[in-house]
């Protein structure tokens, strides 16, 4: 069942257009993550869905009802913000009760709802504390509690974990995933952290400058990006991009020259229209380089090791290949390395991505 639909939704402030026509359908119970760089319009889009911001043009449907002009209170939506936005002079109990008191629910129902919500979010021991006596993670749990206690149809989260330290973020990320699994509500979650997007989402919506670049399951975006922006945004460390030139075309294959790697005959299977002399970008993820032993001489290159990050479970090598950007290579095997040494590797045509001069994927 459709939970929410955006039809050609646009937003402008005075004469500045910030959202350029978004079409998106979200299914009932889906966990959808909006991701994109700062300023791309994630919060604006979420606030328009919540009814906190007017929709300049286009339509918003919730469960097939036109909600474009409806006030926030009529939409059945609850929103959780990065800043928690708790009432500082109310206890946790008071903060949880507030939305139900405003809705004039009977006292006994409110008490029961508080008890259930507190138990679900491990807040029972903290009910009589004021927000200032809580940690960041506890405050964010209260903010989430205040949202779920109203039984909204849809939850919106705007970077709810950004103020937390790394360990707490991970813990809260798991709690939010569990909450979604147990409540089964539609959730829309905004973040600029691609790791959060990858781990939480059923589907990710990648936004850039007010438009959707791609919508898809996390692994689809990772394995089959539609364009250079999505390829570079999803994955950490990010995909390496190398300038290349098509030197021959035929039989569903292209031959590439890749000057930065000193390669003159990299052959890729590409069905997209292309021509000899075309300038393209070759994309290779850090984890997709090959040891020399398993790659033919024509696909080998070398670079000078200028930096090595050892993370325990894996290592990232930063290779100077004589251009401004280092090539980032993941090396699972921890071996002794010396800065300045020449590292020789191969590339695997099956793991290469190709993008045209406009950044569109060539498949």
Ligand X SMILES: Nc1ncnc2c1ncn2[C@@H]1O[C@H](COP(=O)(O)OP(=O)(O)OP(=O)(O)O)[C@@H](O)[C@H]1O
Judged by the rule CB under 6 A, the positions of this chain that interact with ligand X are 13, 16, 18, 36, 38-44, 192
Which partner from the list ligand X, Mg ion, none does 18 bind, CB cut-off 5 to 8 Å by kind? ligand X
Decide whether 9 or 263 has the Cβ nearer to Mg ion: 9
Decide whether 11 or 285 has the Cβ nearer to ligand X: 11
Which partner from the list ligand X, Mg ion, none does 38 bind, CB cut-off 5 to 8 Å by kind? ligand X
CB of 9 to Mg ion, least distance (A): 17
Residue 349 tokens read as 């045509």
Query: How many Å apart are CA 203 and CA 201, to the nearest integer?
Result: 5
CB of 43 to Mg ion, least distance (A): 3
Decide whether 22 or 198 has the Cβ nearer to ligand X: 22
Query: How many Å apart are CA 73 and CA 52, to the nearest integer?
Result: 10
Query: How many Å apart are CA 136 and CA 79, to the nearest integer?
Result: 18
Decide whether 9 or 305 has the Cβ nearer to Mg ion: 9
Centre a 10 Å sphere on the Cβ of residue 263 and count the other Cβ atoms it contains: 18
φ and ψ at 212, to 5 degrees? -85, 125
CB of 37 to Mg ion, least distance (A): 11
Which partner from the list ligand X, Mg ion, none does 297 bind, CB cut-off 5 to 8 Å by kind? none
Q: Is the dihedral of CA 113, 119, 120, 122 positive or negative?
A: positive
Decide whether 126 or 230 has the Cβ nearer to ligand X: 230
Q: How far is CA 67 from the centre of its chain?
A: 27
Given a contact cutoff of 8 angstroms between Cβ atoms, the answer to whether 214 and 230 are in contact is: yes
φ and ψ at 147, to 5 degrees? -80, -45
Shortest-Cβ-distance residue relative to Mg ion = 43
**Binding footprint of Mg ion on the chain (CB under 5 A):** 43
CB of 159 to Mg ion, least distance (A): 6
Decide whether 93 or 192 has the Cβ nearer to Mg ion: 192
Query: How many Å apart are CA 77 and CA 97, to the nearest integer?
Result: 17
The CB-side HSE value for 122 (13 A sphere, CA atoms) comes to 11
Decide whether 198 or 207 has the Cβ nearer to ligand X: 207
CB of 45 to ligand X, least distance (A): 7
Residues shown for the chain: 363
φ and ψ at 71, to 5 degrees? -70, 160
CB of 60 to ligand X, least distance (A): 16
Mapped onto helix, strand or coil, the DSSP state of residue 107 is helix
CB of 352 to ligand X, least distance (A): 31
Given a contact cutoff of 8 angstroms between Cβ atoms, the answer to whether 219 and 263 are in contact is: no
Which partner from the list Mg ion, ligand X, none does 294 bind, CB cut-off 5 to 8 Å by kind? none
Residue 117 tokens read as 């919500």
């Amino acid at each position: 069942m459709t939970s929410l639909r955006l039809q050609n939704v646009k937003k402008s402030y005075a004469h500045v257009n910030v959202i350029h026509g978004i079409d998106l359908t979200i299914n009932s119970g889906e966990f959808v993550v909006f991701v994109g760089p700062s300023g791309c319009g994630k919060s604006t889009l979420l606030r328009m869905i919540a009814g906190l911001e007017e929709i300049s043009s286009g339509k918003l449907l919730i469960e097939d009802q036109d909600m474009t002009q409806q006030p926030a209170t009529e939409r059945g939506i609850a929103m959780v913000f990065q800043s928690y936005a708790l009432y500082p002079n109310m206890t946790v109990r008071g903060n949880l009760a507030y939305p139900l008191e405003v809705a004039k629910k009977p006292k006994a129902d409110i008490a029961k709802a508080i008890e259930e919500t507190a138990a679900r979010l491990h807040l029972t021991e903290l009910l009589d504390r004021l927000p200032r006596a809580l940690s960041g993670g506890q405050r964010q749990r209260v903010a989430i509690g205040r949202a779920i206690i109203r039984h909204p149809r849809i939850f919106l989260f705007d970077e709810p974990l950004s103020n937390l330290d790394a360990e707490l973020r991970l813990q809260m990320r798991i709690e939010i995933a569990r909450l979604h699994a147990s409540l089964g509500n539609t959730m829309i979650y905004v973040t600029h952290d691609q790791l959060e997007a990858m781990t939480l989402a059923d589907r990710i919506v990648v936004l850039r400058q007010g438009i959707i670049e791609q919508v898809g399951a996390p692994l689809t975006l990772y394995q089959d990006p539609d364009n250079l922006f999505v390829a570079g945004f999803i994955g950490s460390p990010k995909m390496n991009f190398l300038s290349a030139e098509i030197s021959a075309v035929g039989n569903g294959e292209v031959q590439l020259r890749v000057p930065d790697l000193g390669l003159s005959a990299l052959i890729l299977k590409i069905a997209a229209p292309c021509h000899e002399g075309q300038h393209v970008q070759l994309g290779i993820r850090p984890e997709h380089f090959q040891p020399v032993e398993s790659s033919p001489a024509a696909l080998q290159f070398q670079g000078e090791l200028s930096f090595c990050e050892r993370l325990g479970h894996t290592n990232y090598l930063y290779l100077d290949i004589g251009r401004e950007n280092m090539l980032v290579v993941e090396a699972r095997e921890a071996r002794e390395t010396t800065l300045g040494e020449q590292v020789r590797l191969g590339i695997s045509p099956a793991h290469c991505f190709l993008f045209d001069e406009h950044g569109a994927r060539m498949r």
